[in-house]
Amino acid sequence: MEPTLPKIGLGTMGIEDPDTIARAIELGYHHLDTAQIYENEDVVGEGIARADVSREELTVATKVWADNLAPEDVRSSAEASLDRLGLDFVELLYVHRPIEAYDPGATLPEFDSLREDGLIEHVGLSNFSIDQLEEAREILAGPIAAHQVEMHPLYGQRELLEYARTARHTLVAYSPLAQGAVFELPEIREVAEERGVSEAEVSLAWLTAKDGVVTIPKASSEEHLEANLAGAGLELTAEERERIEGIEEERKLFE
């Protein structure tokens, strides 16, 4: 059974205060996304421990970085991640990028093994092409639960979204605010002004209105944490969504 991910989760890259994580959880962020390369799994784990929310209510995701993807390293690095998080298992473990030590036929069975042994509940992939997703599907014994990619109004990922719907996995959008670029887009600003909301809320509402898409904006202040959550409750009209879909500029932030 695939995980049911909340429409808005918390991207934790750069967060170094466990109290920020704990406060986010208590505000309603029950999908927490970290990674080995962020070097803050211990911070996320401490935040989980401090929060007055039961572990059963949370979906915790982390990612194995590219230099740990050799078959002999996957399990030991995943166990080290669990130790840093202070958890017996995570709901979702990603291949962070299919580069460096990644070898589909050797790497992916190790993820299956972690799932079979109960150290993870679901396997995710991140930053894959459609061809790489197809290859992974043929190798993995279990389903791909989620594919995490850069996705925002300047980079709509239409092909990967269509593929995700066909393959029946969730598309998890990172950098949904395009590192602040959405605040300068006329189409986003107009809708925000008309609605009396922030550009962030409009961008997140546009993403979360899409079937099969969830997103993980990063925020640290309580004001931004609350505003981002509000984005999931903002219902854009078809005309507003079309205006945003019609943005012609395309900008990819991460290679």
Q: Is the pLDDT of residue 1 over 70?
A: no
End-to-end CA distance of the chain: 32
Sketch out the chain's domains with CATH numbers.
10-180+211-229 (3.20.20.100)
- The answer to whether residue 254 scores a pLDDT higher than 90 is no
Q: What is the pLDDT of residue 255?
A: 72
Report pLDDT digits (tens) over 34-64. Answer: 999 999 999 999 999 999 999 999 999 999 9
Quick: pLDDT tens for 182-208: 999 999 999 999 999 999 999 999 999
Q: Look up tokens 């602040």; give the residue.
A: 180
- pLDDT at residue 2 in the model: 64
Q: How far apart are CA 226 and CA 233, in angstroms?
A: 11
Active site residue 38: yes
Q: What share of the chain is helix, strand, coil (3-state, %, to 5)?
A: 50, 15, 35
Helix/strand/coil (H, E, C) string of 33-100? ECCHHHCCHHHHHHHHHHCCCCHHHCEEEEEECHHHCCHHHHHHHHHHHHHHHCCCCEEEEEECCCCC
Q: Which of the following is catalytic: 38, 102, 155, 174?
A: 38
Q: What is the pTM of this model?
A: 0.96
The mean pLDDT of 228-238, rounded to a whole number, is 93
Q: 57-103: per-residue pLDDT in tens?
A: 999 999 999 999 999 999 999 999 999 999 999 999 999 999 999 99
